[in-house]
Amino acid sequence: MSNVHLELPGSDRALLRRAVHAVEQQLSALPGHSTLDAYRAAAADLAVSWAALCKLLALGEAAPLRECPRCHHLGMSTATLCGYCWLRLPLLSAMTSDAKPASAQTASERS
């Protein structure tokens, strides 16, 4: 068995690698443009590549956090134990409505 890592063309990782490579190439080529118009066109292409990379990353919303009432470290809002002092945290349903994740909100709360 060889030690070659197979990466199928069109796989998520291959698409990410291609998008990162495009951004890297466009970034490194930016200083080489001799005219302002060429620089602006290259910057516009770079913005398109960056947007494509961000879409592939699909980072989504940041996870909601809450502060531990004892040690004041931040942790996931859905945690039942503090990751620093191991204090048992109240359940999310016992918290105020503004601390609920977006998926738990009703349509009237989102408007």
For residue 81, the minimal CB distance to Zn ion (Å) is 9
| C-alpha dist (Å) from residue 31 to 24, 68, 69, 106 | 13, 48, 51, 50
Q: From the DSSP assignment, how many helices (H) and strands (E) are in the chain?
A: 3, 2
- For residue 19, state whether it binds Zn ion (rule: CB under 5 A): no
- For residue 67, state whether it binds Zn ion (rule: CB under 5 A): no
- For residue 74, state whether it binds Zn ion (rule: CB under 5 A): no
CB atoms within 10 A of CB 52: 15
76 to 95: interface string for Zn ion, x by CB under 5 A: ------x-xx-x--------
- For residue 104, state whether it binds Zn ion (rule: CB under 5 A): no
Residues that bind Zn ion (CB under 5 A): 68, 70-71, 82, 84-85, 87
